[in-house]
Amino acid sequence: MIEEVGTSTDGDLIINIGPQHPSTHGVLHLVVTLNGETVKKVEPHLGYIHRSIEKMCESLSYRQFIYVTSRMDYLSSHINNLGCAHAVEKGLQVEIPERAQVIRVLMSELTRLASHQLWWGAMAMDIGAITPFFHAFREREMINDIMEETCGARLTMNYMVPGGVMYDLHPDFQKKVKEFVQFFRSKFDEYDELLTGNVIFQARTKNVGIISKEDAISYGCTGPVARAAGVSCDVRKLFPYDVYGKLQFDEVLMEAGDSFARYQVRMGEMRQSLSIIDQLIDNIPEGEFQAKTKAVLKLPKGEYYSIVETARGELGVYIISEGGMTPYRIKFRSPGFSNLSALDHMARGSKIGDLVAIMGTLDLVIPDIDR
């Protein structure tokens, strides 16, 4: 039951935040019940950017539907495409060449870095600091240039195809990535200097928006939101796909579960991504970049499920096939939806200014939640 905006019977103020509000990062609509400045209840309303992607995918073939998923979580579009490609490959039972697997992991980690950089800048802007936004975009631009060179697009790449990747790497790829890693390492301390060590920033994020380990599990939180509460849920570690099983990296875990812990988890993940890129960039094996597949893909009758770790958490792709050229049903389990559902629990009792800070650390991408 949607409550009317205005004053409720017991004197609480009910206001709208969004759907057009700069701090909600898109068309998120929150109906907030306030007692003075204290948040009593947060009710997210969805549906403003629903494009029925799941239904659209049912009318597209197994090669075609992957490009639509770039439009869900557009900040980690590579990883969305990868999840779909995995699900189709499970049905086709094809062996992916080692080179393609390494390229996929490299691209996923670059995407994760780009996504976390944008989050870092946007979150700082939510709290009131403008400068970090420009610093973050400077580094993100380098990743976008690398993507543009190899994949042909900057945001919606459609580079992962069933059987491997669409093109081989650009000859300059290794050089550019090494340059970027070196540059980003030297600038990473600036990030800490500008924001992490700032006392005002710490005061606004520490002990704010706390979620316990049990609550994080029961709300179905994944990704940095759950890992900040101490839940070990990194798909790359627990169910390794592609070459993640052979790599040395740590799952960043925190115990506090507050906004600052979520911040620290993402900063730690950026360092881990850099170390993964370091391990792979000199060891890209030679060989095919795509396995041989038929021109028209047909999945045998059955159900296929694959999970990948996007920058925001666990993305599940569930395909039911009737044996035809198009899927019978596709369902995406998006990480943002579950993380958003915990917002009410986190924000209750905090001040309205902190609500925006909590939303910032959740790293919401609304098209991913609505689809």
Task: Give every CB contact of residue 160 below 8 A, 6+ residues apart in sequence.
Answer: 66, 78, 81, 82, 84, 85, 104, 107, 166
> Rounded to the nearest whole angstrom, what is the least distance from the CB of residue 197 to other proteins in the complex?
6
The reply on whether position 214 binds other proteins by CB under 8 A is no
Structure tokens, 184: 């980003």
Residue from 138, 178, 271, 298 binding other proteins (CB under 8 A): 138
- Beta bridge pairs of residue 309: 314
Q: Which residue, 71 or 262, has its beta carbon nearer to other proteins? A: 71
β-strand pairing of 164-165 with 160-161: antiparallel
Q: Give me 328's structure tokens.
A: 């019978």
C-alpha–C-alpha distance, residues 265 and 275, integer Å:
15
CA neighbor of 326 nearest in space, from 295, 302, 299, 294: 299
- 53 is a site residue for other proteins (CB under 8 A): no
By CB under 8 A, tell whether 195 contacts other proteins. Answer: yes
Q: Pick one of 153, 179, 182, 218: the residue that binds other proteins (CB under 8 A).
A: 153
Using the contact rule CB under 8 A, the part of the chain among 95-103, 198-206, 248-256, 353-361 near other proteins is: 198-206
197 or 300: whose CB is closer to other proteins? 197
Tell me the C-alpha distance between 229 and 211, whole Å. 7
Between 141 and 179, name the residue whose CB sits nearer to other proteins.
Answer: 141
Question: Which of 33, 158, 334, 339 is close enough to bind other proteins by CB under 8 A?
Answer: 158
Give the range of 161-169, 208-216, 236-244, 345-353 binding other proteins by CB under 8 A.
Answer: 161-169
Shortest distance in whole angstroms from residue 303 CB to other proteins: 23
DSSP assignment of 293-315: --SS--PPSEEEEEEEE-SSSEE
Q: Which range in 2-10, 160-168, 270-278, 347-355 contacts other proteins by CB under 8 A? A: 160-168
Q: How far is 111 from 309, CA to CA, in rounded Å?
A: 12
Q: Which two tokens stand for residue 302?
A: 């059955």
Rule CB under 8 A: which of 170-189 touch other proteins? 170
Pick the stretch among 149-157, 264-272, 338-346, 353-361 that binds other proteins (CB under 8 A): 149-157
| 48 interacts with other proteins by CB under 8 A | no
- Residue 202 CB, nearest approach to other proteins (Å): 9
Q: Cα separation of 314 and 147, whole Å?
A: 23
User: What is the DSSP secondary-structure string of 69-80?
Assistant: HTTTSGGGHHHH
Which region among 38-46, 82-90, 151-159, 329-337 touches other proteins (by CB under 8 A)? 151-159
* CB closer to other proteins out of 167 and 239: 167
Does position 150 interact with other proteins (CB under 8 A)? The reply is: yes
Q: Report the nearest approach of other proteins to the CB of residue 216 (Å).
A: 30
Would you give the DSSP letter of residue 290? Answer: B
Q: How far is the CB of 124 from other proteins (least distance, A)?
A: 10
What's the DSSP call for residue 22?
Answer: G
Closer by beta carbon to other proteins, 116 or else 135: 135
Report 117-136 residues binding other proteins (CB under 8 A): 129, 131
- CA-CA distance, 217 to 229, in Å (whole number)? 9
Alpha-carbon span 114 to 36, nearest angstrom: 39
Which residue in this structure is represented by tokens 């316990």? 212
Helices 173-191 and 131-151, interaxial angle, to 10°? 170
Q: Alpha-carbon distance 290 to 278, whole Å?
A: 23
Asked whether position 152 contacts other proteins by CB under 8 A, the answer is: yes
Instruction: Select the residue interacting with other proteins from 6, 186, 199, 292 (CB under 8 A).
Output: 199
Determine if 207 is a binding residue for other proteins (CB under 8 A): no
Question: Which parts of this chain interact with other proteins (CB under 8 A)?
Answer: 60, 63-65, 67-68, 129, 131, 138, 141, 148-153, 156, 158, 161, 166-167, 170, 190, 193-195, 197-200
